[in-house]
Amino acid sequence: MRVSAIAATVNHSDRFDHGGLFQGDGFIMGAGLLAECSMKFAIALFSAAHAPSSRRALLFAQAALAGGHEIVRLFFYQDGVHSASTNIVAPQDEQDIARQWREFVSQHQLDGVVCIAAALRRGVLDQGEATRYQRSAVNLEAPWALSGLGQLHDAAQNADRLICFGGT
């Protein structure tokens, strides 16, 4: 959506906070941030799929791509690695944010990186790590890739902005 089209939908019940426009419980766009010329974003997620910040990160990423921007890398760190697990089951009355992340990354062919140290600590394993540590459970599959924290540094160097969601 173009900025002018979004601006036309703003009414008195909408709120601006944390540098963004929210309508209802959905993130629409960052005030000024997404209104600039095309930008490259690196997005880091530090919270699990059930946390509100995970949904906000997903909505931000969707809005960034819809606005013609580029996402150079999604980096899932700390509890954010749970969002990449295939074993996450959302209750029937809740959105399945982990599934939405997986579909979003696949659909847009994004670089979805899961921190290997954080993943191992939380039991999130791809086939290679499950074999290496002699574990029977594999719960990390494509489109996700395990890699080190250096990938976050690389993403920050190649992006115009590093946007972080969640964490303490």
pLDDT tens readout for residues 70-128: 999 999 999 999 999 999 999 999 999 999 999 999 999 999 999 999 999 999 999 99
The position carrying tokens 């959506």 is 1
Alpha carbon 14 to its chain centroid, in Å, reads 24
CATH of domain 39-165: 3.40.1260.10
Residue 115 is a catalytic residue: yes
Q: Where are the beta strands (DSSP E) in the chain?
A: 15-17, 20-23, 26-30, 40-45, 70-76, 112-115, 144-147, 161-165
Over 80: is that where the pLDDT of 25 sits?
no
Record the pTM. 0.78
Q: How many residues does the chain have?
A: 168
Catalytic residue of the set 42, 74, 115, 125? 115
The domain spans of the chain are: 1-36, 39-165
**Which of the four pLDDT bands, split at 50, 70 and 90, describes residue 18?**
very low
